[in-house]
């Protein structure tokens, strides 16, 4: 391995999550060494995601006793592992947040992109709330020169997951009437991407007036409160009576899915992007069968989605300048986590800067 750029340090500051006690500590640990086919990345920014909170609060089971969290990384290549020749030190990259397991039935037939037991960064191996992180050289995405690294960090999940929901799962196309339940972090990006995909009209539904105001500013044609007793009538009127072709549920509780399903046109589909432990109570069999309604679950994105988004940003088609709500230094990681937990300042994305 070559020496990390501009440093002779052998240790680095990292957040460490202890599964047994659910404690978060800031510690100095050895700078990791990239193995064959891996690169060491100096982390510029790393997002704080709801799935990170789910590990802390126990909703996601811990896979290892101690781990560095954070999986939404953008940074620069600091060192190359043996055999890596696709990258050079100083390249600006977004690493893939998952590694194929190499042993499931899809991996065994070479379909690594559809691995059934993906090892996830920050859950199975150390992530990016640290000064450095190790990632596979294959799976890194180059960040265009004119894209700031703080916006690049958003592409590692916060924007790529909504992108894949719009383009791959829902297949939104020009002229689709689209509703979006929950316009926080994920839902705000859904609004922007549905607009790019040609959805019309775009209807944002939320309980938070500030979030609704922001969704309108970023592309929603209508913004309705979810507790409005006239919600269904308003959606009916906004769509000229045809109701919704696609409804995204970015909240993921039975109440929002129920509202979304109730507002579908025949053959319409609800795509669930949000997640909770609640059961889906979507309506009657009669409603589904007679009107051929559908519900689809969505998770994640493909690595190539990150480079598509990087190009949209680079060419000015997508504006994420409002998406970084706050940048906290790694030493204040506890404050950043609390801001997301309590939704302080109605955040789209909070980034950690090591």
Q: Which is nearer to Zn ion, 157 or 265 (CB)?
A: 157
| CA 156 centroid distance within chain | 7
Minimum CB separation of residue 117 from Zn ion in Å reads: 5
49 binds Zn ion (CB under 5 A): yes
Nearest approach, Cβ of residue 89 and Zn ion (Å): 27
Binding mask 4-43 for Zn ion (x = CB under 5 A): ----------------------------------------
**Residue span 88-127 as binding mask against Zn ion, x where in contact by CB under 5 A, dash where not:** ------------xx--x--x-------x-x----------
Residues numbered 130 to 159 that lie near Zn ion (CB under 5 A) are 157
Rounded least distance, CB 312 to Zn ion, Å: 19
For Zn ion, what does the binding mask look like between residues 268 and 307, x meaning CB under 5 A?
----------------------------------------
The nearest distance, CB 202 to Zn ion, in angstroms, is: 24
Q: How far is the CB of 25 from Zn ion (least distance, A)?
A: 22
> Nearer to Zn ion by C-beta: 104 or 303?
104
Name residues contacting Zn ion, limited to 223-242 (CB under 5 A).
Answer: none
Burial 284-295 (b: 16+ CB within 10 A, else e): eeeeeeebebeb
* Contact residues for Zn ion, defined by CB under 5 A: 49, 100-101, 104, 107, 115, 117, 157
């Amino acid at each position: 391995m070559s020496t990390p750029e501009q440093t002779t340090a052998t240790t680095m500051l990292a957040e460490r999550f202890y599964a047994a006690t659910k404690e978060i500590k800031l510690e100095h640990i050895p700078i990791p060494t990239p193995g064959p086919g891996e690169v060491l990345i100096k982390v510029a920014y790393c997002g704080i995601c709801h799935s990170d909170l789910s590990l802390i609060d126990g909703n996601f089971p811990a896979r290892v006793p101690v781990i560095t969290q954070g999986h939404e990384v953008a940074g620069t290549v600091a060192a190359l592992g043996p055999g890596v020749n696709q990258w050079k030190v100083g390249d600006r990259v977004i690493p893939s947040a998952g590694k194929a397991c190499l042993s499931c039935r899809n991996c065994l037939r070479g379909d690594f992109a559809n691995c059934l037991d993906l090892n996830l960064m920050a859950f199975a191996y150390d992530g990016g709330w640290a000064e450095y992180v190790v990632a596979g050289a294959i799976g890194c995405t180059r960040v265009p020169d004119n894209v700031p690294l703080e916006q690049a960090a958003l592409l590692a999940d916060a924007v790529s997951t909504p992108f894949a929901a719009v383009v791959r799962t829902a297949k939104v196309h020009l002229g689709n009437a689209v509703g979006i339940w929950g316009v926080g972090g994920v839902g705000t990006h859904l609004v922007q991407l549905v607009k790019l995909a040609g959805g019309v009209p775009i209807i944002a539904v939320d309980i938070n007036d500030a979030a609704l105001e922001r969704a309108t500013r970023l592309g929603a044609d209508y913004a309705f409160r979810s507790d409005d007793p006239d919600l269904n009538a308003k959606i009916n009127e906004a769509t000229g009576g045809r109701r919704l072709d696609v409804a995204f549920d970015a909240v993921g509780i039975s109440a929002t899915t129920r509202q979304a399903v109730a507002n579908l046109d025949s053959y319409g589909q609800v795509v669930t992007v949000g997640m909770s432990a609640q059961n889906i109570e979507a309506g009657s069999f009669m409603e589904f069968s007679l009107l051929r309604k559908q519900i689809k679950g969505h998770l994640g994105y493909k690595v190539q989605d990150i480079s598509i988004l990087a190009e949209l940003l680079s060419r000015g088609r997508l504006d994420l300048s409002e998406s970084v709500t706050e940048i906290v230094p790694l030493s204040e990681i506890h404050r950043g986590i609390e801001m997301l937990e309590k939704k302080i300042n109605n955040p789209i994305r909070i980034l950690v800067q090591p």
